[in-house]
Chain A
Amino acid sequence: MTSVREWFDSGRHAVSERWHNGPRWMRWALIAAVIVFFYALPNREFYQWLGPIPTTGSNFGHVLFTVSIYVLLAVGLNIVVGFAGLLDLGYFGFFAVGAYTVAVFTSPSSDLKTLWPWMLALPLAIALTMLSGVMLGTPTLRLRGDYLAIVTLGFAEMIRVAATSSEFLKGQRGFNQIPHPPGSYPDGKPIFGVLDPRPYYWLVLTLIILVVIGVQNLNRSRVGRAWIAIREDEDAAQLMGVPTFKFKLWAFASGAAIGGLAGALFAGKQNFVSSQNLELLNSIIILAAVILGGSGNIVGAIVGGGLVAYLIERFRGIEFFGIELYEYRFMLFGLVLVVMMIFRPQGLVANRRRAAEFKDRRKEVIVGG
């Protein structure tokens, strides 16, 4: 076992050496190649050469869209959990606020009957999720650790219960005929239709790239430094002039905004939003994805979100000795999580700092216990 780990670690070190010491153009070329790969991925002409990667049980384009939404959510949650170190167990609640805002303002089955186009509802959805993040954060971010986790968990459940039982939010019947994003091909056909999932995927992919650039800018600035300082020693940070509450609230609000964006995109593709979309499990899956990928690292969050969403879909339609694997997907997922936490608690693509913090904590546990 150890030899396998050593082999794995040495390989990883070699890769990271290459990456950090190689010339700048090589890094950019590699990033560009990865981006091109993911833009090309949903085309049958391309993915038919990729062996077992495309899903068999469901349309690969739809799967890719789902995966991209999860990646977006993981990038957003990573700000809250990974950067600022705030444990948010109800992140999917923000997704719900985003999706429902779009639904309420655009769907003909809504009581408002405003029938806005999707594009008009999008900024409102983002603004409202941000607002809900601020409203939830203002009283709770003064608390630390476990309290915050409980309150956020309650928030997501509150949204779900409200969506299920409120007449205004239509419960399980949901909202239908939510409009698609705008745009049409030269021949007059809409770009964002019902049959072809690829444009939605490309849209989300583009937005992921923009969001990642923005998040990276924040991370490399005083904002990112303040988040790390808060995570490492909140009192010392405050005594060094960091307005800790303000920056925690910003982490919460920007994470929420990204969740809202994901929700609005989902509603725009699906046409239909109902309380059945809002299981607690989703919040847990995204959190697990961030931790699995490597919390505190944007690449880690992307890898984690993508891998978790993809693998869950990949199980669909696979039979193993007559057992439908998809039925056991969460059991397998749980198993993977347990194994990861034992052997690599810092995640697949670890953040240097967070990895060290984990080690410190482990030492503390040993000393204390």
Chain B
Amino acid sequence: MGETVQKPTVPEQAGPPAAESTAVTREPLLEVDHVTLRFGGVVALNDVNFTLYKGEILGLIGPNGAGKTTCFNAMTGIYQPSEGEIRFRGERITGKKKHQITKMGMARTFQNIRLFPEMTALENIQVGADAHHKTSVISALFRLPRHRREERDGLEKAERLLDFVGISGRMHDAARNLSYGEQRRLEIARALATDPVLLCLDEPAAGFNPAEKEELLQLIRRIRDQGVTVLLIEHDMRLVMGVTDRIVVLEFGKKIAEGLPAEVREDHRVIAAYLGVPDDDVA
């Protein structure tokens, strides 16, 4: 996990250097292998199958209720697939605990922001940074040197990340007092603090105006340039087309298309799903 967010000390310029530093490999990072998820009689995911490669930004799109967030929840261990399995870095993660999956290098944000509201922005990120800390109760009780070192490292990392997402001015404010946009950024910073290899963003631009969306786009590119693979759920087609390397489209829990943004945009099933063409015309 060496190539993760270790050194975002230099605040990068606004210019997006994304295109040339793209290092998409053919090395699979996450494999969603024919996953079906049922809740009683409802099939939330139906034989969903896609692979995420190291270094890319993959967009996961689809109309409301298509199963995008459900797919995230299955990946991060909240739901267990009824059939199929999910492999992360070659290892089967079905049945693993949520915090273990996080430790393996998968981090996420939430569609409806779920920060720790009464903790400060800094503390929120520190919780994320603690994911990889080894010392626990006994060394904290006696404030052993190793524990103090980890605390200091965590604090520095948290400050760095606040700076990275651009909200270092709100460091000591309770998360609930941050503006909506700042809260979304804080969620990303908290997820980055767990040193992820894969960052899953669940509609990070929801409720943003165009200027904020543009800033977010650049932030996502910068994150990828740090060597983090990004999986992005998004509604806004323009945003998705502008930043992703590849796109997977879900509708009614099924994958209906996969490919480069340009291809997906031309796909008649995707157009039908988004514009609502009657079923008989689609076939």
A192 to B119, CA, bound (A): 45
A142 to B231, CA, bound (A): 31
Q: Which residues does chain B contribute within 8 Å of A353, judged by CB atoms?
A: 118-119, 174
| Contact status B118-A232, CB under 8 Å | yes
Contacts of B77 in A (CB 8 A): 239
Which residues from chain A contact B99 at a C-beta distance below 8 Å? 238-244
Q: Say yes or no: A237 contacts B127, CB within 8 Å.
A: yes
Q: B121: shortest Cβ distance to chain A, in Å?
A: 13
Return the contact of B127 from the options A214, A217, A226, A357 (Cβ within 8 A).
Answer: A226
Of B39-47, B128-136, B249-257, the segment with at least 4 beta carbons within 8 Å of chain A is: B128-136
Q: Does A250 contact B (CB under 8 A)?
A: yes
Residues of B within 8 A of A246 (CB): 136
Which residues of chain A are near B107, meaning CB under 8 Å? 240
Asked whether B194 lies within 8 Å of A222 as measured between CB atoms, the reply is no
Q: Report whether B140 and A223 are in contact in the complex, using a CB–CB cutoff of 8 Å.
A: yes
Binds A, one of B24-32, B141-149, B221-229, B275-283: B141-149
User: What is the bound-complex CA distance between A237 and B110, given in angstroms?
Assistant: 12
- Which residue from A235, A241, A357 sits with its C-beta under 8 Å from B118? A357
Q: How far is the CA of A360 from the CA of B177 in the complex (A)?
A: 13
Is A21 interfacial (CB 8 A cutoff)? no
Closest to B114 in A: A236
B117/A229 in contact, CB under 8 A? no
B101-123 interface code vs A (CB 8 A; 1 in, 0 out) = 01100011010001111110001
The answer to whether A232 touches B151 (Cβ under 8 A) is no
- Given A235-B78, A356-B176, A357-B118, check contact A222 B133 (CB 8 Å): yes
Residues from 211 to 237 in A contacting B, C-beta threshold 8 Å: 214, 217-218, 221-223, 225-226, 228-229, 232-233, 235-237
A34 smallest CB distance to B (angstroms): 23
A233 near B116 (CB under 8 angstroms)?
A: yes
Q: Is the CB of B78 within 8 A of A240?
A: no
A240: chain B residues within 8 A (beta carbon): 99, 102, 107, 127-128, 131, 190-191, 194
A: interface residue count bin: 20 to 34
Which of B123, B127, B147, B194: most chain A CB closer than 10 A? B127
Q: Are A241 and B140 in contact (CB under 8 A)?
A: no
Question: Given the complex, which residues of B lie within 8 Å of A254, measured CB to CB?
Answer: 137
Taking A225-B127, A236-B116, A242-B127 as known contacts, 20 extra A-B pairs with beta carbons closer than 8 A to each other, sorted by chain A number, are: A217-B142, A221-B147, A222-B133, A228-B119, A229-B116, A229-B119, A235-B78, A237-B127, A238-B98, A239-B98, A240-B107, A240-B190, A240-B194, A241-B130, A241-B131, A250-B137, A254-B137, A352-B118, A353-B118, A353-B119
Q: B114 to A222, Cβ gap below 8 A?
A: no
Cβ of B183 within 8 Å of any chain A Cβ, yes or no, is: no
Shortest Cβ distance from residue B70 to the other chain A in the assembled complex, whole angstroms: 15
A217 touches B102 (CB 8 A): no
A222–B98 CB distance below 8 A: no
Q: Known: A238-B99, A241-B194. Contact between A226 and B130, CB under 8 A?
A: yes
